[in-house]
Amino acid sequence: MNSAPTGSLLAIDAGQSSVKVRHLVDGNAADWTAPGIRTDRPLLPQLAEVLAEATRRGCTATAVGIGASGLADESQETSWLLRVAAQLGARSLSIAHDSITAFLGALGDERGAAVAVGTGVVTLAVGRTDVIRVDGWGHLLGDAGSGFWIGRAALDAVLRAHDGRGPATALAEAVYAEFPVLEDAYLQLQADPERVQRIAAYARPVAEAAARGDAVAIRISREAAGELAHSVVSGLARVGEVAPDGRATDDAGVRVCAVGGVLRSPVLAEAFTEAVRARVPAAQVRIGTADPLDGAALLPFVGASSPLRRRVVRIEDAP
């Protein structure tokens, strides 16, 4: 890590479920949240509005760190964001995909793999020289094991039971509470611009039903855990931290951290740990011990020697 810039810092974790903001001044933090970003709309204007809100709140910041869902790896005309951030007094703005900030918040600037599971999901694996992102392709093309993936599986299971194509499940109670006329569910969801978050919200009833022993909810949870573990191990293999036979290439083992609201499900969290260790016995797995905002706050300090540095777009004003 580089030495920290002097002055205060604004950290932003811009996810699909919510945007979380932390203003740090002399070690004191003030946090607030805003509605999640829309990945079907231009990203940078949404981030600019978050910066403008911080200005309206009277915040000042010498540096800004932003982790954002839906950000491409390449710089996409982000320099103008620094001009917006200059209203806060910022001289430096560092922005990266939220997989980078999730990793920093979970494991710091070290090697291993971190998977962040919310409405969407993304895994980042870091080796000695390589950095690999796995999934994070959005609900239409990927996000396997995410809150949306689980919620859609829940709705699918209830509809299958309704049709006689699948077994009965306790998940029906939550679905019928929102859609008393089940045949209207698909019409309402298709017409709702917030349908991604609305479907992802069913991850909670799945966790609750799985804890009560519902067979369908347990199956969904275990399948989601398997998808997440598969992404983690695939990433570790690609950066050289795991050999093809599952052996860790470092005698100290390999570190894995999984964070996000989906991991609050004991059934899913246990299944994830089991699935990772079944393929990589030396894996040191931690669940839910990180905050992506911590990672966003570390973005301005990622140094040139870190393999993560090339994944961080940093724009600095001339002194």
Tokens of 231: 């992404």
The residues, any chain, with a CB within 8 Å of residue 157's CB and separated by 6 or more, are 166, 169, 171, 216, 220
Q: What's the pLDDT at 182?
A: 94
Backbone angles phi, psi at 4, to 5 degrees: -70, 145
CB 317 within 8 A of CB 21: no
Q: What domains appear along the chain, each with residue ranges and CATH number?
A: 9-99+292-316 (3.30.420.40)
* Distance from the Cα of residue 140 to its chain's centroid: 16
CA distance 159 to 175: 9
**Which bin fits 102, alpha (ψ -120 to 50), beta or left (φ > 0)?**
alpha
| Angle, CA 96 vertex, CA 198 and CA 195 arms, to 5° | 10
Q: What's the pLDDT at 74?
A: 47
Q: What's the pLDDT at 252?
A: 66
Q: What's the pLDDT at 319?
A: 52
CA distance 72 to 68: 9
Strands of the sheet with 18-25, listed across from one edge: 28-35, 18-25, 9-14, 63-68, 92-97, 313-316
Q: What's the pLDDT at 1?
A: 54
CA distance 148 to 316: 37
Q: What's the pLDDT at 6?
A: 46
Question: For each of the chain's 319 residues, which pLDDT tens digit applies?
Answer: 544 444 689 999 998 778 999 999 887 889 999 998 887 788 889 999 999 999 999 999 999 999 998 776 445 567 788 888 989 989 999 999 888 888 898 888 889 999 989 899 989 999 988 999 999 898 999 999 999 999 999 999 999 999 999 999 999 999 999 999 999 999 999 999 889 999 999 999 999 999 999 999 999 999 999 999 999 999 999 999 988 777 777 766 799 999 888 999 999 999 999 999 999 998 999 998 777 889 999 999 998 888 999 889 998 875 5
CB 290 within 8 A of CB 117: no
Q: Locate tokens 């209207």: which residue?
A: 184
Q: What's the pLDDT at 108?
A: 87
Q: What's the pLDDT at 299?
A: 93
CB 175 within 8 A of CB 158: yes
Tokens of 116: 């962040």
Read off the pTM: 0.79
Q: What's the pLDDT at 42?
A: 84
